[in-house]
Amino acid sequence: MSTSYTASAGYIGGTAAPFIEEMSEITHHMWSLGWDELNGGNISYLLDEAEVAKYIDIREAQRVINLTFPVTELAGKYFIVTGSGKYFRNVIKDPEANLGVLRVSASGESVEVLWGLRNGAVPTSELASHFMSHIERLKVDSTHRIVLHTHATNVIAMTFTHDLNELQFTKTLWEMCTECLVVFPDGVGVIPWMVPGSSDIGRATADKMKDYRVVVWPQHGIFVTGATMDATFGLVETIEKAAIVYNLIGGREIKQKITDRQLADLAQAFRVTPKAGILEV
Ligand SMILES: [Zn+2]
């Protein structure tokens, strides 16, 4: 028989739901890295119904929140999300106030709050970008689960000084650390600067997600997707590391670099296919 979370309890029998623990740990870690100041950053994580039902009463919704953008493709799906205006710094102290478990309604026009988002809180203001990205990634990858947005400091800095052509941006990242091409041979997408929180930026981001797991928002941050928290976070870490190197060497004389030939050799050795149109070999 399953046990349910109550309004005040976050943990049943001393065991937290693994997905709540994962969200608490990763938000804390990202805040420690300085990427998620104030209420910056948001995460949504697609969950299995059976896994949710082990910990949370899924029979009755606590509240229903209407969506301004219908997501019929996600009808009946369960997500844990960060709350709008909530601080990553505070999630670990009080997951139930800062996170929420949602089920998309059968019509896809609303979400039912099953747990969390205490005191009338609502899901992340970037829910449109998240849901639209989930829809696109699930079309190309059935293992896809996570959409993560963060204000990775050095990636933001790089969008001031680097050309925003996504093929050039990808190539520069690949050239910064040897592991990059192996970790994201599919490259990174880049959209123009847009007002955040809107369906428009959601559509633009999701459109890139047809081809990319990563989308850079200039002067703002990064959207990254993946099958597990480790893989998704690892992808941001790797891109941010490359951006750190780019910023460290910026304006200084380059005496040697990884050549296109070497990048192609690397791809062959690790059996990855670099995105077409970038390497000249
Ligand atoms: Zn943001």
In tens, the pLDDT along 12-51 reads 444 589 999 999 999 999 999 999 999 999 999 999 999 9
167 and 70 fall within a common domain: no
d(CA 37, ligand 1 centre) in Å: 10
Q: Is residue 9 part of a domain?
A: no
- Active site annotation includes 175: no
Predicted pLDDT of residue 16: 82
Q: What CATH number did the domain enclosing 64 receive?
A: 3.40.225.10
**pLDDT tier at 10, thresholds 50, 70, 90:** very low
Predicted pLDDT of residue 116: 97
Host domain of residue 205: 126-281
119 and 181 fall within a common domain: no
- Nearest CA among 101, 64, 70, 71 for reference residue 83: 101
88 and 151 fall within a common domain: no
Q: How far apart are the C-alpha atoms of 147 and 134, rounded to whole Å? A: 7
Predicted pLDDT of residue 15: 59
d(CA 200, ligand 1 centre) in Å: 15
Percent of the chain clearing pLDDT 70 (strictly above) = 95
d(CA 64, ligand 1 centre) in Å: 25
In tens, the pLDDT along 47-91 reads 999 999 999 999 999 999 999 999 999 999 999 999 999 999 999
Q: Which of the following is catalytic: 22, 112, 126, 136?
A: 126
Predicted pLDDT of residue 74: 98
Residue 7 has pLDDT above 70, yes or no: no
Residue 4 has pLDDT above 80, yes or no: no
Boundary (domain end) residue, out of 88, 107, 125:
125
d(CA 125, ligand 1 centre) in Å: 9
C-alpha distance from residue 177 to each of 44, 54, 125, 248, 279 (Å): 29, 42, 34, 13, 16
